[in-house]
Structure 1
């Protein structure tokens, strides 16, 4: 199908983009990679008055070292994230999860910030950002603000972005100590959305698990942290038995949906199984 008529703006700076959003009317959509927006516009499930295309805003692309954090521009493509040496050094789980996003064609067009701002709970990147305690830098006409990942994902397809604001970069903290990371994903067919997935980060000290972070994909309307698992692992012996016992708590305080892909109780089962696998791999067991 053909989209409904709309005005089109293609700014080259963040300031120009913010001005275009402000003057675009009541219904403005941001075009990043377009993998989510274009299909719904073609089906006329969305009919924005104005589309603001960010593909020429060079300052929103790239990965840089900023001391205690790695900063990823919101318009950095998935393929660039996967290939970036800073990501590989400090946040390899980001590359591992991004490599599972759709197919190569989508990864060459889709963007890191676009996927996070879309906030689909079945998407691979929100749970990883949550587990890493990433920070989201948001720009508006009055300045910039930083929102932690725990506050960025508000509800299904809803974030802390307010009207007239843009996500400009994502800060990934450099974790201190000896951390292992692993992303475990289960889907029905290759290139599909996650039915459930788990992002696990584990810091070991003297044969014990000093700290663990576990983010769950598609276990509710937003990504969630498996706090029960994290509590059970803190200070536990780094053994397969301890990990298996902790993983039994993976579905606590979650609210998975039932749909054509899986019933809620099956997703809860998957969360326990995949958490055990992800934590075991992250802990090097």
Structure 2
């Protein structure tokens, strides 16, 4: 489905010029000739991106931009400001109002199209990034796995999560729970190299993509790095005791081990796959196998034979 772009400009020649060039690139284009109409069109059908002329009747581009940003229905749309002005102060006003980019007239249509594509791509990438860890989210994770399968790469999928995380949250609260998630993210960053991919699925779930050859070595490194400093997340008495005590809904005091990491891994080294979800399914099963053992554990599936370690 083509992205919908709203172009708002009171100059009919520029409006037609921009509309034509965007349609040639395959975009669906909506138009408006003043600020009020731009808001009405955007509310009627929320676009992927809005191109706003700064100087328009009724409401200028800055006002429209601000209203789009403060309306929950349109707060996430991409916005590019279009103006004849080239002063830095005008650009600052547009960016302060919430614009993603700024183009000064006269402009090259190729530049306009390039900026539209770049803004849309950058925004999608940012939306896919975990706000907590800054790691790629599900959209980029899926795209990266699909790419590797399509390119015929031999690779491994490591599926990870924390053990005893609920007990940690119950004991220390969600803010420190977020710190534990960030700790695992830091461990993964330190254990991996630039050619390995890390993604944050959500909560305490992560994925790492690596070569089949590096799968076990990386799993060992993650386990070792995680266990090395995990006690720093705890209050001294809990760290010394090696457990946390949590009171359940019935008033009973229950004791839980410290956080550990469970890893399940699958590779297409000996079993080529057409769909990345086949690897994810096996990796998830192997993670469940890991979680049955105490402490930080990894389990790797190769031709149906599990290799595990702690």
Q: Same fold (TM over 0.5)?
A: no
| TMscore range, shorter length | under 0.3
TM-score scaled by length of structure 1 = 0.28
